[in-house]
Amino acid sequence: MRKPFIAGNWKMHKTIEEAVALARELRAALEGDVSIGCDVAVCPPFPALAAVREALAGSAIGLGAQNMHWEEQGAVTGAVSPLMLQGLCDYVIIGHSERRNLFGETDEMVNKKLHAALAHGLKPILCVGENLQQNQAGETEKFVGGQVRAAFAGVTPEQARIVTVAYEPIWAIGTCVPATGEEANVIVGGTVRGTLAALYGNDVAQVVRIQYGGSVKPGNIAEFMAQPEIDGALVGGASLRATDFAEIVRNGLACK
């Protein structure tokens, strides 16, 4: 009942020209595939958004931004506002662990961004996930549950349905050490969906899509997609090669 959703986060990679080339390659590689029951999106860096949007026009591949400020405008040098993204892209990644760790984004900021995205018709991909130390100390459920509660504070049940949550254990990001499918399924189902059920009831929790992210590759996507609670993936490194990302989509779809 939840439509699978696979998104690529290009992070700080690709010039405008390279981004357009990658988008075209991906479009060619996926043509005919993505309309069959799976949502697919790519999230290029800000400067490439407009050009990639043009390159993907008329395709079923959606477009997302990687970050956003919560204010519509103001004296915030270097920031991009929801007004600027409105109409330009469909999705926006919020609270990625790299934003939290490298740029000091707090749960409170993530909550403001989530509200701003929803208020401007942008579909948020909200990232949560524990670090290695927390994982090894057995604190994953408490920490991730807390991140979900903080992010959704004040979000209505109707709005919550629109959010995609990406569970990304930090120790699995860019490390080639993914979680196992079972491990991820426990946190996605028990902790993330469980927390949403406690906040909004089961009806809402059952429609929210939850992705797994962290070293997803063509060879392991099936393990995650085969899990009942996991609805898709947020893919970093492997989304930078059109053939790999297309294979991830195809292999992922085959199990849902």
Q: Which residues bind ligand PGA (CB under 6 A)?
A: 9, 168, 173-174, 213-216, 234-238
Place of tokens 């007004």: 83
Residue 203 parent element (H or E): helix 202-205
Considering 98, 105, 130, 168, which one is annotated as catalytic?
168
Can you state the angle between helices 16-30 and 242-254, rounded to 10 degrees? 40
3-state DSSP call for residue 252?
Answer: helix
Q: Are 248 and 216 in contact (CB under 8 A)?
A: yes
Query: Cβ closer to ligand PGA: 189 or 236?
Result: 236
Query: Cβ closer to ligand PGA: 94 or 234?
Result: 234
Considering 69, 96, 105, 223, which one is annotated as catalytic?
96
Closest approach of Cβ 129 to ligand PGA, in Å?
9
Q: Are 39 and 231 in contact (CB under 8 A)?
A: no
Closest approach of Cβ 170 to ligand PGA, in Å?
9
Q: Is 141 a catalytic residue?
A: no
Q: Closest residue (Cβ) to ligand PGA?
A: 236
The stretches of the chain forming alpha helices (DSSP H) are: 16-30, 49-56, 82-85, 97-102, 107-119, 132-136, 140-151, 157-160, 181-186, 194-200, 202-205, 221-225, 242-254
Query: Cβ closer to ligand PGA: 194 or 237?
Result: 237
Query: Cβ closer to ligand PGA: 189 or 213?
Result: 213
Closest approach of Cβ 121 to ligand PGA, in Å?
23
Closest approach of Cβ 171 to ligand PGA, in Å?
10
Q: Is 115 a catalytic residue?
A: no
Active-site residue list: 96, 168
